[in-house]
Amino acid sequence: MLTAELLASATAIADNIVSLRRAIHAEPELGLHTPKTRDKVRAALAHLPLEWRSGPSTTGEVAVLQGTRPTGGAGRRVLLRGDMDALPMPEQTGLEFASTIEGRMHACGHDAHTAMLAGAAEVLCARRDELAGEVMFMFQPGEEGYHGARFMLEDGLLGGTPDYPLPDAAFALHVMSNAPFGMIGGRAGALLAAADQFDITVTGRGGHASMPHDTRDPVPAACAIVTALQAMVTRRFNAADAVVVTVTRMDAGTAHNVIADQASLRGTIRTLSPDHRAKVRELMREVANGIAAAHGVTAEVGITEGFPVTICDGRAVALGREVTRDILGEDAWKDLPAPIMGAEDFAYVLEKLPGAMFFLGVAPSGENWSQCCGLHSSRMMVDEGALPLGTAVLAGCATRFLEQGFT
């Protein structure tokens, strides 16, 4: 059973975890191909008895640890996941290990996720003879909109064949820079939203700005569409099943005295159910086309499908709650009251097998966590003292599941 030894083991290698995190942070990589990050991970874990698997679509890899404790039959298999890619944005933290690549930053904590997963691999390899089953460590690129988890599934790196089925369960941690230090939070059911992108092009007939009556100005129509979309959300959808439609960009025109031929809108759609995900697309087209027609212009709505809803299995959440309390204490766990409208491509994994993602608070210990910069901020910070805590919880989830499965 779990003991304080897991946390002690993670704390003993804290310097290694922090060192790997800082090395990754200093050289952030984007998208599906993160070879420098992959190589740092492989070098850090080269001394461990792991079998490595890679696929053609990404630089993602899966490291497999075979426990040597007799199972008396087919042992359980559990997956732990960490993502490796960064964001295309500047860093303004002033850290001594800040990004050395202009316009790139680990502002979502993936450097910490990867380092904690590597730490969990080291902790569990040291207990190989206590493990009856298999642990898979999924080092995944391309989480920030690139569908990296889906590609790794399609490449067969997680299994899915008669000879090598998918794991029996999956767990992941995501840091929260504006949550209390050391808190672990989770919930059964929807944890994070589905995320889709929309692009609306409003086409009219441009001309001289002094003679708008001789044109079909697309800008007023585009502005009316923006406000109508907000009314659509509040009047056509039940607030108990949240929908978010946010216009994040509007473009039109090239000069102060020219009415443009086109105006474009871009933004995001967040939903928590398949029904609302489909309905919002239908209504957006209805709203845009109706308003465009009223203005004598046309509208074209394009939807780019993003990640599905992140659904956590109640049994996996219960296991994570028990593990957290066993390792970090009764007060470390927090049941989240509602979903968060962000999105995660770990959702693809949780569509295929039962599991859960949990949040780890990494706001600086002793500070007012609510005032700390959130994820995707150029000043987002991680209290590295929380990394051994996350490492121990990941290792604990794997250990507990191999011992007893879901109860």
- Confidence (pLDDT) at 218: 97
Question: Where in the chain are the domains?
Answer: 5-191+309-404, 194-304
How far is it, in rounded angstroms, from Cα 143 to Cα 381? 20
- Confidence (pLDDT) at 3: 64
- Confidence (pLDDT) at 322: 96
- Confidence (pLDDT) at 73: 61
- Confidence (pLDDT) at 143: 97
**Per-residue pLDDT tens for 342-387?**
999 999 999 999 999 999 999 988 889 888 999 999 999 999 999 9
Question: Which pair of tokens denotes residue 333?
Answer: 């766990």
User: Which residues lie closer than 8 Å to 149 by C-beta, 6 or more apart?
Assistant: 81, 138, 140, 142, 143, 345, 346, 347, 348, 349
Domain 5-191+309-404: assigned CATH number: 3.40.630.10
The pair phi, psi for residue 40, each rounded to 5°, is: -65, -40
Question: Are the folds of 5-191+309-404 and 194-304 the same?
Answer: no
- Confidence (pLDDT) at 407: 82
Tell the residue number behind the tokens 């992941």, with chain if given: 172
**Per-residue pLDDT tens for 41-53?**
999 999 999 999 9
pTM across the whole model: 0.93
Among 367, 324, 4, 341, CA closest to 173: 324
User: Which residues lie closer than 8 Å to 294 by C-beta, 6 or more apart?
Assistant: 221
Strands (E), 7-85: 51-54, 61-66, 76-83
- Confidence (pLDDT) at 319: 97
Domain 194-304: assigned CATH number: 3.30.70.360
Averaged over successive runs of 10 residues, the pLDDT of the chain (407 residues) comes to 82 98 98 98 98 97 94 84 98 96 97 98 96 96 97 96 94 97 97 97 97 96 97 93 96 96 98 94 97 98 96 98 96 96 97 97 89 94 97 97 92
